[in-house]
Amino acid sequence: MSQVEQVAGAQWAAPAQAPMSRDDALTAWQTAQMALKAAQIAEVNLRRLIFEMCFTDPKEGMNTLDLGLGYELKADNKFNYTLDKVKIGAVLDAIEALGERGKLISERLVKFSPQIAVGEYRKLSAEDASATDKQIKSLIDGVLTVKPGLPALEIKAPPAA
């Protein structure tokens, strides 16, 4: 049994093997969901506290603290970099206008990754899709992988009377 299973209890470590009623399963799921949220909040708060306590002058990237007896605390200090999507085109144009070096750097500085527009993709499968739309769908299907995600669940209480 893993340490996670020991802490969480084996009943939450894997799907239940014994028959369970729908209502019991929903109640167990809701209880586990609340416990998970509480544990996640506690873990994040403790992680931040420990990081601030142990690394008074952290650098971006890996920080290491010797804990003694061969143990080390490793902290990957991450920064999130976000570009202004509205302004980036003009900035890249200005960088490229600086000459050959500007062109080279602008190509390497910002990465653009293809992302499917699911709504547009679904329109290609519509009953009234044109022959061109069907051809486009056939082409894009050759480079597209669709996998099922984790379903989201929510129990909604009835409206108050």
Same domain, 88 and 128: no
| DSSP per-residue letters across 82-114 | ---TTTHHHHHHHHHTT-HHHHHHHHHHS----
Same domain, 106 and 120: no
- What whole-number distance in Å separates Cα of residue 127 and Cα of residue 111? 36
Q: What is the pLDDT of residues 98-120, one digit of tens each?
A: 999 999 999 999 998 899 999 99
Same domain, 45 and 20: yes
Mean pLDDT of the chain: 89
Q: Is residue 152 part of a domain?
A: no
Same domain, 9 and 46: yes
Question: Would you place residue 153 in the very low, low, confident or very high pLDDT band (cuts 50, 70, 90)?
Answer: confident
Q: What is the pLDDT of residues 66-77, one digit of tens each?
A: 999 999 999 999
- What whole-number distance in Å separates Cα of residue 1 and Cα of residue 5? 6
Using only C-alpha atoms, the chain has a radius of gyration, in whole angstroms, of 25
> What range defines the domain where residue 55 resides?
3-77
Q: What is the pLDDT of residues 9-37, one digit of tens each?
A: 655 455 656 788 999 999 999 999 999 99
Q: How many domains is the chain built from?
A: 3
Average pLDDT of the segment spanning 60-88: 94
Closest CA to 125 of 141, 147, 142: 141
Same domain, 59 and 11: yes
> What's the pTM?
0.64
Q: Is residue 33 part of a domain?
A: yes
Same domain, 55 and 104: no
Same domain, 9 and 69: yes
